[in-house]
Amino acid sequence: MTVKPQVRIVAIYVSVALLWVLFSDRLLLSLNFDERTLSLLHTLKGSLYVLVTGALLYWLIGRTVRRMDRLNHQLFSGNEQSLRALVSAMDVRHKETRDHSERVMRMTVALARRAGLDGDALRHVRFGALLHDIGKLALPDAVLIKPGPLTPEEITLMRTHTVLGRDLLMRTAFLRPAIDIPYAHHERWDGTGYPRGLRGEDIPLAARIFSVVDVWDALSFPRVYKPAWPEPEVIDYLRNAAGGQLDPSIVGLFLDHYDELKAIGLEQLQLD
C-alpha cells in the first residue's frame, strides 16, 4: 500500500515529538535541579524542540517536493514524447518536409528566447509550435495534400484548422495555455488574417514569433504544391512581408539572428 506523502510526514513528525517529550522530560526530572533551573531548562528544551522539528519538517517536505518534481518531469517528458510521435505521424500524413514540426518548434523557441520570453511562457511556445497544425487532423486528405490550387470552398475548409486546433487543445488542461500559436498563427500584422482578423499587437506575441518562422520554413522547403525557394528570395520575401503579413520587429529580430536560428532548425538533419 502506498502511503500518502502528507501522512508519512505527519507520522514522522508526531513520532519524533512524542519521543522528544517522553525522554527529555524524564532526563530533566532525573537531574534533580531546583524549580527555577528546571523552568529555564524547559524553556531551552522547547526552543531546541522548535529548531530540531523545524529542520526535520524542512528536510521531509523538501524531499517530498523533489520527488514530486522528478515525477512531474517524467510525466511532462512522457507527454511530450507522445505528442512528438503524434506530430511526426501527422507530418507524414500531410506529406510535410522531414522534421517540419520539430524544426519550426526549435527555431520558434530560440527566437522566443531572443524576444524575451522565458519560464512557463517559453514552455507554452514550445508546445504551441509543435502542435501548430493539430487542427488539420480533422481535415480530409483531398484538401490537405492537394497538389494544385485550392478552390474557394476548400480554402474556407482549410482555414477552419485554427479553430479546430484551439478546440482540441482546450480539451487538455496542460495544453490550454499553448493555444495562442495553433489558434492565431495565420493572423496578419495588417489585420487581414484569420480566424479573427486581429491586427498588430492584438495578435499574441507567441503567434507573431511563430508566424515568421513558419513563413520561412514554408518557403525554404518543398511542399506538395510548390518547390523550395532560393534562400535570397526567402529573405527578400520576409523583408517585404514585414509590416504587412508579419510583425516588423520580429522579422528584424529573426534576420539579425538568421544564421544562428537556421543552424538550430537544421541541426537534426545534420545529425541524421
| Residues labelled catalytic | 136
d(CA 238, CA 1): 60
What ranges in 131-271 are assigned the alpha helix state H?
A: 141-144, 152-158, 161-169, 180-184, 205-220, 231-241, 248-256, 258-271
d(CA 185, CA 97): 19
- Picking from 165, 201, 199, the residue whose alpha carbon sits closest to that of residue 182 is 165
Distance from CA of residue 64 to its chain's centroid? Answer: 24
Measured CA distances, 96 to 99, 134, 218 (Å): 8, 13, 10
Radius of gyration of the chain (CA): 29
d(CA 72, CA 6): 18
